[in-house]
Amino acid sequence: MSITGSTLPISVREISTPYTVWGEENVNIVESSNNKIYISRGGGFRYRVTLNIIPFNILSSESAVRFEFLRAYLTRNPSFSIPILNTIPNQIVGSPEVIASFTDNEPGFDTVLVDTGTFTGDFQPGQYIKFSNKEKVYQVGDYNSGTGVITLTQKLRQKVNPENAINKTISYAGVDYYGTAFDGITGSFVNEDFGNPVASIDDGILGRISPLVLIENI
């Protein structure tokens, strides 16, 4: 592992509560040079995540090394990828990439059509997915296994097939994240507390990483 890596170097087993994921409108509060406050709308929506990491027993040399490594990583990196975990295990059996034909593929549409011949099972409401090689995270709102139509919880933020190809892939299952298979996908996020203290030592025993407050990097 390296402190310059693009993914947060934790095992899924090191994630603890609070762990929350929620969506919001993609807006930013902007302060002008004359101290006026404006709301800047970027279009679409984005996810926020609060992610807590288990405390480390620094009396153990191995745990102490892990604690200091994570502290160094978070001090250096303002953005990174994290695992986004499904609450309900997905029910798709087959390749982790499902061919999808996008008929309504422009921003503002909320349905996509998948090729049901490449897998069996159902996409579950609330399941996290990504399209092709794009980083934007989406959630399944509903899936019709008869027609192959996925209705998203939010509308597409960007065109998903800019090359006008009709076939793209949907990533829906995490295979490995630092040695741990998990049910979900990875998403790119910015640490909103970057530059602030990220760690503390309690009673000279427990090394704690502050709960990470993250916003989707879009």
Q: What is the pLDDT of residues 122-153, one digit of tens each?
A: 888 999 988 877 788 999 999 998 888 889 99
Residue-wise pLDDT tens digits, 161-175: 644 444 567 887 776
Q: What CA dihedral angle connects 118, 96, 189 and 22, to 10 degrees?
A: 60
Sequence ranges of the domains in the chain = 12-86+187-216, 93-171
pLDDT per position as a tens digit, 171-203: 877 767 887 788 888 999 999 999 888 889 988
pTM assigned to the model: 0.83
Per the DSSP assignment, residues forming a β-bridge with 97 are: 171
Per-residue pLDDT, 203: 87
What are 41's strand-pairing partners? 27
pLDDT at 160 over 80: no
Kindly report the CATH number that applies to the domain delimited by 93-171: 2.40.30.290
The pLDDT assigned to 27 comes to 55
pLDDT digits (tens, 9 = 90+) for 36-84: 555 555 557 889 999 999 999 999 999 999 999 999 999 999 999 999 9
> How far apart, in Å, are the Cα atoms of 213 and each of 21, 53, 66, 82?
10, 12, 20, 12
